[in-house]
Amino acid sequence: MQSHVDEDSRSEVTEMKDPQSRTIFTGVDGRTDTELPEWYRERHGDAAPVTFAEAVRDLPQAVETTVAYQNPYTDEWVETERFNALVEPSRAREQARDGDGETDPLFHVPTDSYAIINPVDVYGPLEEVLRKETIDGTPLGEVMFGEIRRYRGGGEVHMDIMFDGLEVRLPGRSDPITMGVTSGYDFFGEHAVYVEG
């Protein structure tokens, strides 16, 4: 992360490094006909948005697998049940199928108290809430938009979920502030799922 002083507001602003990939989304699923707000479209140029559900299902997953260590005295590999490695299953299949030494499915080898929380397990239930909850009679899923940013091979994810029309105007500022939440997680044992609003 880098920080700098925002000259307009004279406050320090912290920015994330550039993500490895970015997915722009609009609407909760294919049943919604949602467009990006004009100001957001202008900022992100030629973005080809997908739905929130599609974006979440496209995120890397993690599964546990057995860990082994090489005994330095016998050069034998010894499996251990003390820890399990977290790997991305589609990359592990690709590595096994193609014998590809460049595909690295390993995210992390956490302690045995680590519990995997995959993105569909967290954000899947949110989809139903976004379909049911409304703002001025319109389901939130029809006015939602935002982006998902991937870092570290997709093992670290941060997203902004915003709602078109849900905004506040602060005294002394001409542009409104669009309301929403920021959420994310990683498979490296550093951040469990977080949500900030």
pLDDT of 57-105, one tens digit each? 999 998 888 888 888 888 888 887 777 778 888 888 888 888 766 777 8
Smallest CA-to-CA distance from 65 within 46, 53, 77, 79 is with 79
Residue 11, pLDDT above cutoff 70:
no
The pLDDT tens digits for 131-145 are 999 988 999 999 999
Residue 169, pLDDT above cutoff 50:
yes
Range of the domain at 28: 2-59+116-196
CA distance 60 to 156: 9
Do both 48 and 143 map to the same domain?
Answer: yes
- Compare 108 and 94 and report the one with higher pLDDT: 94
Residue 20, pLDDT above cutoff 80:
yes
Do both 183 and 126 map to the same domain?
Answer: yes
Between vectors from CA 130 to CA 19 and to CA 50, what angle results, nearest 5°? 40
Confidence grade of residue 156 (pLDDT, cut at 50, 70, 90) = very high
Do both 51 and 124 map to the same domain?
Answer: yes
Number of domains in the chain: 2
**In terms of pTM, does the model score above 0.85?**
no
Do both 53 and 145 map to the same domain?
Answer: yes
CA distance 1 to 15: 6
Give the pLDDT score at 106. Answer: 81
CA distance 187 to 121: 14
Are 47 and 36 in contact by the 8 Å Cβ rule? The answer is: yes
Q: What is the CB neighbour count within 10 angstroms for residue 142? A: 19
Do both 94 and 50 map to the same domain?
Answer: no
Tokens at residue 40, please? 């957001």
Do both 69 and 87 map to the same domain?
Answer: yes
Residue 9, pLDDT above cutoff 80:
no
Do both 52 and 122 map to the same domain?
Answer: yes
